[in-house]
Amino acid sequence: MKTGDPCVLVILGASGDLTHRKLIPAMYEMHRAGMLDKATCILGMSRTKKSDAQWREDLTPWVSKSVKDFDAESWKTFSQRIYYEAGDAATAEPYARITARIESLNECHGCKGNVLFFMSVAPELYEPIVEQIGAAGLVTEGRRWCSLNQNARSWQRIIVEKPFGNDDSSAASLNRALGRVFEEEAIYRIDHYLGKEVVQSLLAFRFANAIFEPVWNHRYIDHVQITAAETVGVGQRIAFYDGTGAIRDMIQSHLMQVLAFVAMEPPSDFSADHIRAEKIKVIDALQLPDMKRLQDFGAVGQYGASADEKAYHELTGVKDGTTTETFAALRMEFENWRWAKVPFYLRTGKRMARKCTQIVVQFKPPAANLFRKTMSDPLSGNRMVIEIAPNEQFSLRFGAKKPGAMQIRDVEMMMDYAKAFKVEPVEAYGPLMIDAMRGDQSLFKHRLEVESAWHAIMPFLDERSAAIRSGIHANYAAGSWGPKSADDLLARDGRAWFNPSA
């Protein structure tokens, strides 16, 4: 079992939603799974004043709600390793206290001088906080940290949450700011989709089986659809969301990563450098859309009102006349030999008909289809559906002869993770944070990947996208599969979305 090195995990943004809902529950799960080193402890930091005991108490209901089979006794033991320090991390003021606290935790728990920072704060605070961490001398990579560990080489690393920048130039500036304090090898740009079992399995599926890879290219694949649909609305995150939108929130990060795993070339081995080099290469090969026909490459939408929630543009806190999208569908193509002329359709939205994250790989019809007269849709069957959530499944649909007639009907062959491996999915953040504690960057994004991904989607975000944003208000009904413009996007190519059935 992979276990992280001992360290002090410093969570900047301790009172935030992410820390309560995901990070602490994930660390508790990792502790129970025996993957967190026994010396590792957690120091939370945010502006509100509270004691260690108060923070542990605040966290308890969140952890008990989020973790299956929560056990009060083991939580109590684990929570004794959780500490709190108040202060504004974007200013110099608290750093003398923080440094002293990290040193004393290091000594008393035996963390060998290792420190893992986790940026779980509002994105505009990333740069000022990194500067303060640097100015306080908290990063001493390769040097000895504390007197108790004279012989050990310590490490200091940082995990940076998305959104990584707000556009291509702010992402580049954040990369430069991080680079002034941390080496690239110490920067972990996290994307929780890479912690999902099925996303990682794409590599095994493609590169451990000789039967799929030979057909994984433009000669056999008609197109690919990647969907991340949610039934929830924007909820309490309006201030963040209205300046962000679906393309920045979901496509620039999560769906681009899924796209890269589907489309990349085989790495020469599974080391972080080689996996990331292939992802950089494939994202870099994305073509920019033809700006004169942007509606052929992108559709955006905002959900309308429903019985329990106002329309997005009517929500309190949303800017008047906002054109921020709660839905987006993009058509992307790679300019490379494997994928020439194969469209990849990426789609995501809030308040949609079903919660479902899936990849659909549609194969081309047979070159000479003897059964075409008996088929209503020539593309029917010949389809791989990879469901990432809520189920974890790979299924292959193909045409089979109906008994008693020379006619074709779609049938399905399925591999279900829960049934095949009898394991419950864990919170995706846990294994990723353990990887950061082990120094394994394979499932984290490289600086160049992030910058290329921004480059590919900027035309859908900046002033050039005004044309596809007109008439956006309530242009799709809550509980539907998105606006008509998204259906038209595929219809123009003679295709349609594969919507999962209820």
Residue nearest to ligand BG6 (CB): 249
**DSSP symbol at 289:** P
Minimum distance of ligand BG6 from residue 449's CB (angstroms): 17
32 or 192: whose CB is closer to ligand BG6?
Answer: 192
Least spacing, CB of residue 199 vs ligand BG6, in Å: 10
Q: Which is nearer to ligand BG6, 162 or 469 (CB)?
A: 162
Residues 425-484 that bind ligand BG6 (CB under 6 A): none
- Dihedral of CA atoms 272, 274, 277, 282 in degrees, nearest 10, equals -110
Q: How far is the CB of 190 from ligand BG6 (least distance, A)?
A: 10
Q: How far is CA 236 from CA 11, 233, 239, 311, 474, in A?
A: 22, 9, 8, 14, 19
Tokens 């809030």 identify what position?
Answer: 350
Between 190 and 285, whose beta carbon lies closer to ligand BG6?
190
Q: Is 350 exposed, middle or buried (0-12, 13-18, 19+ CB in 10 A)?
A: buried
Distance in Å, CB of 464 to ligand BG6, minimum: 24
For 467, the enclosing helix (H) or strand (E) is helix 466-469
Among 276, 282, 274, residue whose Cα is nearest residue 194: 276
For ligand BG6, the closer CB: 196 or 469: 196
Token pair, residue 331, equals 């058509």
Handedness of CA 389, 352, 321, 453 (dihedral sign): positive
Report the SS3 class of residue 346.
strand
Burial of 367 (0-12, 13-18, 19+ CB in 10 A): exposed
Sites for ligand BG6 among residues 185-244 (CB under 6 A): 228, 230
Residues in region 353-372 near ligand BG6 by CB under 6 A: 357
Our CA angle for 371, 376, 378, nearest 5°, is 60
Rounded to 5 degrees, φ, ψ at 410 are: -70, 135
**Per annotation, catalytic residue among 192, 254, 313, 446:** 254
CB closer to ligand BG6 out of 198 and 228: 228
H helix or E strand, kind and range, residue 11: strand 8-12
Strands, sheet with 298-301, edge to edge from the N-terminal-most edge strand: 298-301, 327-332, 344-349, 221-229, 356-363, 383-389, 393-401, 408-416
Instruction: Determine, following the binding rule CB under 6 A, whether residue 325 of this chain makes contact with ligand BG6.
Output: no
In whole angstroms, give the CA distance from residue 399 to residue 382.
7
Q: Does 161 bind ligand BG6 (CB under 6 A)?
A: no
Amino acid at 218: H
Q: How far apart are CA 149 and CA 138, in angstroms?
A: 16
249 near ligand BG6, rule: CB under 6 A: yes
Nearest to ligand BG6 of 85, 249 (CB atom)? 249
Work out how close the CB of 125 gets to ligand BG6 at its nearest, in angstroms, rounded to a whole number: 17
How many CB atoms are closer than 10 A to CB 184?
A: 12
Return the number of the residue (181 or 251) whose C-beta is nearest ligand BG6: 251
Residues 14-43 vs ligand BG6: string with x where CB under 6 A?
A: ------------------------------
Round to whole Å and give the CA distance between 197 and 391.
11
Choice between 131 and 167, CB closer to ligand BG6: 167
Sheet strands (E) in 315-466: 327-332, 344-349, 356-363, 383-389, 393-401, 408-416
Q: Is 313 a catalytic residue?
A: no
Structure tokens of 308?
Answer: 């329990």
Q: Which residue number, 143 or 355, has a Cβ lying nearer to ligand BG6?
A: 355
Question: What is the residue whose two structure tokens read 């949609």?
Answer: 352
Q: How far is the CB of 389 from ligand BG6 (least distance, A)?
A: 6
Contacts of 214 (CB under 8 A, 6+ apart): none
Site for ligand BG6 in 383-402 (CB under 6 A): 389
Location of structure tokens 């924007």: 234
What is the size of the binding site for ligand BG6 (CB under 6 A)?
5
Footprint of ligand BG6 (CB under 6 A):
228, 230, 249, 357, 389
What residues are annotated to the active site?
254
